[in-house]
Structure 1
């Protein structure tokens, strides 16, 4: 493995690069992106999560924007490892990236609010991950700890520490039942 002095961070990635990652952990740079977000708490796939994801997709549809993969930024408010914290205590920002130049979401949010009250919580936000370690995780979410350990090894070898929320980009449908078809980008901002 190359040292931090020898390894270069891949250049900032545009829209296409946002949804790409290598099978091995790598250092990349991601600039600012804007999109729709909802913040909440609860287990992945639980009622609050599903209601929030549905609200995001409804507002995205009302905007007439192209559908993109769902993303999640995750954390726990606990000193323990997230894997030791009950999943109903997990916190998240669910996110759908908008095309560059989307000015406002107010009309689209108002359009869907009457039929979907959770849409009132949808916000137009910007995120900047900056320098990250990322990897393409193949397989079920329950196998993510092995991919995260590989990312942690690269961070340790490069003298990097986490600097921001754990970020996941769900390239396959989160409801996919065949583990062989599941593809998720795991991304950790670092410094």
Structure 2
């Protein structure tokens, strides 16, 4: 199993720790803070000369309600771009792009480990994700697994894709 692959039905997978560039923020996906953070990540990645990879997001809400009941401008996120093994010089790259991209000051080099996960490839618009998440929850219940971390999405489609039917997103949930 590789980081950027998932089956079209829920499956259990195991992942080693990964490192990359990250920005933490709050706000609507596609909103101003989100857009500035994505731009900063890609600017630093470019300054590093690292290969471009799909954007990822780990999401949560600080509310007892379902995330789908919480206004999107109250959603929290860790945006992430995976770096190749052994990449360094992040601090220098941040300083290089910071004059033109002030949000680069918030970019950090992080490592995180999800370990055991339930995941699947979601095809279609983000608005249809609840059906895929329900399939994942059913597998978790059948296997006696519990959530053990933040909801994780890997955006495999080009962000400028206009046809929602062509969108592909890996949905991943750490479990124990």
TM-score in same-fold range (> 0.5): yes
Q: Deviations over 1:151-187 (max 9, x none)?
A: 0000000000100000000000233220111000000
Deviation at 1:127, TM superposition (A): 1.0
Which residue of 1 is the match for residue 53 of structure 2?
68
- Rounded Cα–Cα distance in structure 2 between residues aligned with 1:174 and 1:159: 35
Structure 2 unaligned blocks of 5 or more: none
Which residue of 2 is the match for residue 5 of structure 1?
none
* TM-score normalised by L of structure 2: 0.99
Alignment check: 8 A CA contact 2:48 2:89 kept: no
* TM-score normalised by L of structure 1: 0.91
Residue 57, structure 1, aligned to residue 57, structure 2:
no
| Aligned partner (choices 118, 122, 128) of residue 137 of structure 1 | 122
- Rounded Cα–Cα distance in structure 2 between residues aligned with 1:22 and 1:89: 31
Deviation at 1:30, TM superposition (A): 0.6
Paired residues, number = 176
Residue 18, structure 1, aligned to residue 3, structure 2:
yes
Residue 166, structure 1, aligned to residue 124, structure 2:
no
RMSD (Å) for aligned C-alpha atoms: 0.7
- Rounded Cα–Cα distance in structure 2 between residues aligned with 1:104 and 1:111: 11
Alignment check: 8 A CA contact 1:63 1:105 kept: yes
The alignment partner of 1:145 has SS state of: helix
Structure 1 unaligned blocks of 5 or more: 1-12
